Amino acid sequence: MVQRQFPRPVEVFELMRFKRPQLNARTRRLESALTIEDLRAIAKRRTPRAAFDYTDGAAEGELSLARARQAFKDIEFHPHVLRDVAHVDTSATVFGGPSALPFGIAPTGFTRLMQTEGETAGAGAAGAAGIPFTLSTLGTTSIETVKEANPAGRNWFQLYVMNKREISYALVERAAKAGFDTLFFTVDTPVAGARLRDKRNGFSIPPQLSLRTIANAIPRPWWWYDFLTTPKLEFASLSATGGTVGELLDAAMDPTISYEDLRVIREMWPGKLAVKGVQTVEDARKLADFGVDGIVLSNHGGRQLDRAPIPFHLLPSVVREVGADVEVSVDTGIMNGADIVACVALGARFTFIGRAYLYGLMAGGRPGVDKAIQILSDQIIRTMKLLGTHSLEELNPGHVTQLTRLAPIAR
C-alpha cells in the first residue's frame, strides 16, 4: 500500500517553480521559438501574405526547394562515443578570415519589405555573433549603411552583372571602398525565375495593392505602421542609377553574362572572389581552373530553375573534384544546425542561411535575427557533441550517410 498524506506546501514548492510572466510581447513570442520552423510560423502570422510568400516561396512548382530540404532530412549520422566533448570549437576560417560559426547570412533582396529593420538588423546581428553578412545588389540598405551597422565585422557583397555594366562596376568600387572583403559573382540569373506566388500577390517595390492584399494586411497594423513611417523603400545601392524599379530588375538579369565579365570583375576586385550559383561538377572544375577563390553550390534557394540539382547532393562530388583548389560553400534548404554540420562533414568550407534569417527578421526584427542565429548555433554545438567531435576539422564523410530517395535512371 502507498502511504498517503496531505500535501505540504514547502515540499510542493521545492518541486515546482512558477514561470515569471514576460510582459514584452516580442520577447515572449521569441522565447517560445525553439526551431527555425517556429520562427517561420511566427513570421507567417505577423507578415502580410505578399511579403511572407516572397521569402517563403520559390520558382514554378517549388520542387527544387522541397527537394533541397528533403535532402537534409534524408541523412544518417554516425556518432563516436566515449569522447570528452565538454567543449567544442565551432570557428571556421573562410575566404581568408575568421567566422565564429560555419555559416553566414546570405544575400537577400527586398529585405526591408519583410520587416523595416531589414539588412541593418542582419548585419548587426551577424557582427554580434562573429559571422559574415552578405549584402545583395538588390538590397534595400546601402553598402555604406551596412558598413555602419557592422563596422568591425566581415561584410560581403553579392553582385549581379547588370546589362549596364557601369552600374555593376560602380557597385564593386563602392563595396571595396567600404571595406567589404569578399565578392560573390552570381551566375544563375540570366533571366528571372517564374516565382508564381509573387505574381499572384502582386509583389514588387512599391507593392501592387489589390483588395485581396489589403484585406490580408489589415490584421497586421504593426507592419503598415513600419511601412508608412520609415524611409522610402528602394534598392538602396541602386537609388542613384536612375530608372524605375521594373527597369532595374530587368537590368539585373542579363542573358549575355560570360567568363569575360568574370575576368573584368576579377581584375577590379581587390579581395576574395567567389562564384555563386554553381550547379555542376564540370562548371566547378572550369571555375577552379579560372582561378576564383571559392564557389557556392546553390540553386538560388529554388528561386530560379525548378528541378535544378540539389546542392547538398552535389557537394561530395564537387569537393572531390576541386576541394583542394577552391573553397566550396553551400546554400539552399538549410533550416537546422544539423544541416550545417552535415555539409561541413561532407567537405563544405562554409554554408549560408537566407530564409532562416528572414523568418527571424519577420518574427521580431533584430532580436529575431539574433534568435535565429542562436537556434542554429545551439543545434550545431549539440550535434557536434552528440557526434563526439571537438571541432569542425574533426568532421568527415564518415559521420554522414546521404540516404537515397531520388536516384537517376540508369542509361
- Per-residue pLDDT reduced to its tens digit, 7-48: 777 777 777 777 788 888 899 999 999 999 999 999 999 999
The DSSP-derived string for 151-169 is SSS-EEEEE---SSHHHHH
- Report, at the CATH architecture level, how domain 27-402 is classified: Alpha-Beta Barrel (3.20)
- CA 129, distance to chain mean position in Å, is 15
DSSP letter for 2, please: -
DSSP letter for 139, please: -
Looking at residue 199, its pLDDT comes to: 84
What pTM value is reported for the model?
0.93
Return the percentage of the chain with pLDDT > 90, whole number. 73
C-alpha–C-alpha distance, residues 80 and 278, integer Å? 33
Task: Quick: pLDDT tens for 113-144.
Answer: 899 999 999 999 999 999 999 999 999 999 99
* Extended strands (E) in 246-395: 272-278, 294-297, 327-330, 350-353
144: phi then psi, degrees, rounded to nearest 5: -70, -35
Beta bridge partners of 159: 185
- Catalogue the long-range contacts made by 405-410 (C-beta closer than 8 Å, 24 or more residues apart): 405/70, 405/71, 405/74, 406/67
- Residue carrying C-alpha cell 540570366: 190
- CA 329, distance to chain mean position in Å, is 12
C-alpha–C-alpha distance, residues 234 and 269, integer Å? 26
DSSP letter for 49, please: H
Looking at residue 400, its pLDDT comes to: 98
Task: Quick: pLDDT tens for 351-388.
Answer: 999 999 999 999 999 999 999 999 999 999 999 999 99
Which three-class secondary structure state does DSSP give residue 212?
helix
C-alpha–C-alpha distance, residues 106 and 347, integer Å? 19
Neighbour count for residue 87 (Cβ, 10 Å):
9
For residue 245, pLDDT beyond 60: no
What positions carry a catalytic annotation? 300
Query: What's the mean pLDDT in 81-106?
Result: 97
Mean pLDDT estimate for the chain:
92
Share of the chain residues as helix, strand and coil, in percent rounded to the nearest 5: 50, 10, 40
For residue 154, pLDDT beyond 70: yes
Residue 39 near residue 375 (C-beta atoms within 8 A): yes
